Structure 1
């Protein structure tokens, strides 16, 4: 492995091949970049190309070359052009924070304590940037998987895997919050640094916004999976109709005739195509050449569309139902709670108020919802509708959950 001797050497090496590196980075997702093309971009200076290979800026594979992974990661990081969702970096930074805070408490020299605080501030800033970038990549990947993946099995698998990454990001946000508020409270009491306090305030604000974005991502995933379910059902019906048509039993085994008699829209009537045939003598003339080329282009375009069509559904795709769930409308649930409290006060002004958490634990949803999910709904509603609620200083206990009592804002 080649080791650069100085930053000056790295900058000079990249600057001398900036045209080639720019071209290779823009085409990084292509399967191949020819050695001859790289040589042409360096004005046929093979010594410069061999020097780049020797310094492992680029790698050669037979007649092809590619950017080295270290430089590729470096360029993507600075340009924010990487769509990868990497939660391991946040895990590592959280573990590193615990180490630094432990060193800080054991250190006696003031200057060395300050160096640990400086590294802690840098690490918190890294966590904020990485979390925001991961969420942006997550939302983009969810949309791309649903809109551009042609194979339904892969589309469903991608959405399910992205949902697992969403859960992992949420867990890391919760871990970071817990580190700041509970686990390392002793450190924050000792390290009275104004800049650190400002960084923590900004970090907590960004983590709260990130949690809201994850709620939206979860709803998008559920909505997309439900849409796929609807498409599967529609395709299944179309296949049944096609089967009956092929067996010449469509009219006898369906109500098609009755439906067509009641339907008089222009769409059902269809359009009668006006076609005509060109004579062979005309086709042999130069005047007919543009017409022939246009027909060929249309045929090629149809072939491209046909090659991008999604594959057939398997029996497992048709029968699988476990991956879909009904979306719970948080707005409607909150409105029901506020109306219920208002009605209770109208009936008996002296009756005690029911807090939101207790209400949710006994609320009847359209589907089965366990305690853990009801707790998650409580946290989501408090985060999203803070202006419509009043968080009291009282705490309640429900089974293993200790929670702040929340009431309608106008109560």
Structure 2
């Protein structure tokens, strides 16, 4: 098995085969990804797949390919789609923090003490991030289990197992809170306190506080889900017993089902109401598909009534008459060029301009506004105003070149 000699080589291979790795990662929950599919993705260049196998990025399992566990876990953690809750990460970080605190307090060299301090700061930062991710994954797993697991017994067992995980995360959050509050290592946090460490501790406390509130909500959610499962499983069990008694023709003799049904006024026992559907005359006259529907209903009802579709009149001259509407088109570019060639202001220019057809005052005013909105960079917009027929307009001149 080959190993990467540098980060540059690792990123180069991952980037080159990103299409194949993306597809395999997206289908990671499927039981198999065939080698032939991978060949098609890499344009039938088997050397590319073999290189990923030699570097242990992919693993061959007979005719199938799958991502190696360390790359799969890396992608899932970075993309925050990991469904496995691993509280050991937090426990290991806490253990590493305590060990490095001991090393820091017993070390006399300032450079080595600074190295231990950097390790402690990094572990504290990771602890908050890992705790939040575990809480998010826990909530996602609880929702998915309750909504997607079809077996009630397995669903209940999974939820109880996830509740134990919630308890473990709560204990680790409390342990971390006691550690950074100085209850366990008061000497270290007094001696080694600096501005960066204080900021990390404040941020970590906020993250732990968010985790604690979310864990309380998750606990209430798990209790509610388990209660619903117990109720649903009990209901299913009762239905099975009723079904068994019904199949044995003992339902009426061994139960009080008749008395219960007589006392129940549930809507489900009411007859279904029938509402007559009346089609409009306009739809019957204009929709050709209605005739087919009426024929089908007549055949089903066996009324024997013959439905004839009325024929349209032969004289269709009234429908063939075409109405035309004339629209006035103004070439704004041509008007703009003519205006820039002169020296008059734009409003007065448009009042005397020959458009080739008659334009009203309002239509010429519209052209005035259109020219400003499209060619304002080529005009000289002054601060002076004038009025004409109760319309106040801005004096605009061609921009000097």
> In which range does the TM-score fall when normalised by the shorter chain?
0.5 to 0.7
Structure 1: runs of 5+ lacking an equivalent: 274-411
1:37 equivalent in structure 2: 37
Residue 144 (1) aligns with residue 144 (2): yes
The CA distance in 2 between the partners of 1:62 and 1:247, in whole Å, is 53
Give secondary structure in 1 for the equivalent of 2:183. Answer: helix
Instruction: Report deviation, 1:262.
Output: 4.2
User: Which digits, 9 at most, give the CA deviation of each residue in 1:357-387, with x for residues without a partner?
Assistant: xxxxxxxxxxxxxxxxxxxxxxxxxxxxxxx
Q: Is the Cα contact below 8 Å between 2:177 and 2:205 reproduced in 1?
A: yes
1:294-352 Cα deviation digits (max 9, x unpaired): xxxxxxxxxxxxxxxxxxxxxxxxxxxxxxxxxxxxxxxxxxxxxxxxxxxxxxxxxxx
1:203-246, Cα deviation, whole Å (9 max, x unpaired):
11211221111111111111111111111222232223223322
TM-score by length of 2: 0.65
CA distance in 2, matches of 1:163, 1:38: 40
Q: Which residue of 2 aligns with 1:62?
A: 62
Q: Tell me: CA distance 1:260–1:39, structure 2 relative to 1, closer, same or farther (3 Å).
A: same
Task: Tell me the equivalent position of 1:113.
Answer: 113
Q: TM-score, normalised by structure 1?
A: 0.63
Deviation, 1:247, is: 2.6
Partner SS state of residue 251, structure 1: helix
* Distance in 2, Cα, partners of 1:220 & 1:48: 48
Cα drift, residue 50 of structure 1:
1.2
| Aligned equivalent of 1:398 | none
Alignment-derived partner of residue 171 in structure 1: 171
| 1:13 paired residue number | 13
Question: 1:115 and 1:60 mapped to 2: Cα distance?
Answer: 42
Equivalent residue for 2:362? none
Give distance in 1, aligned partners of 2:53 and 2:234: 54
* Residue in 2 that maps onto 1:243: 244
Q: CA deviation at 1:265?
A: 5.0
Equivalent pairs, count: 273
After TM superposition, give the deviation of residue 143 of structure 1 in Å: 1.3
For residues 34 and 96 of structure 1, what CA distance do their matches in structure 2 show?
A: 42
Match of 2:183 in 1: 182
Distance in 2, Cα, partners of 1:263 & 1:165: 44
Note the alpha carbon deviations across 1:55-111, whole angstroms, 9 max, x for none: 111111121111111221221121112111110111110110011111111222222
- Give 2:319's aligned residue: none
Q: SS of the counterpart of 2:56?
A: coil
Residues 152 and 233, structure 2, Cα contact 8 Å, conserved in 1: no
Q: 1:229 aligns to what?
A: 230
**1:46 corresponding residue in structure 2:** 46
Structure 1 position 260, deviation (Å): 3.5
Tell me the SS of whatever aligns to 2:177. helix
Measured against aligned partners, the alpha-carbon deviations of 1:235-272 in whole angstroms (never above 9, x if no partner) come to 23222322332232323333333344444555214559
Q: Structure 1 residues 108 and 21 mapped into 2: Cα distance closer, same or farther (>3 Å)? A: same
Q: How does 1:251-262 map to 2 (within 5 A)?
A: 251-262=252-263
Cα separation, partners in 2 of 1:73 and 1:232, compared to 1, 3 Å: closer
1:171-214 deviations in Å (ceiling 9; x for gaps): 11111122222111110010021111111111112112211111
Distance 1:126 1:234, change over 3 A: same
User: Which residue is 1:381 aligned to?
Assistant: none
Runs of 4+ in 1 over 4 A off after TM superposition: 262-266, 270-273
Do the aligned partners of residues 264 and 231 (structure 1) sit closer, same or farther apart at CA in structure 2, a change above 3 Å counting? closer
- Please state whether the residue corresponding to 1:182 is helix, strand or coil: coil
Greater Cα shift, 259-268 or 240-249: 259-268
CA distance in 2, matches of 1:28, 1:101: 41
Structure with the bigger RCO (C-alpha within 8 Å, sep 6+) is 1
The structural deviation recorded for 1:156 is 1.1
**After the TM superposition, which residues 10-409 of structure 1 pair with which residues of structure 2 at under 5 Å, given as runs?**
10-180=10-180, 181-263=182-264, 266-271=267-272
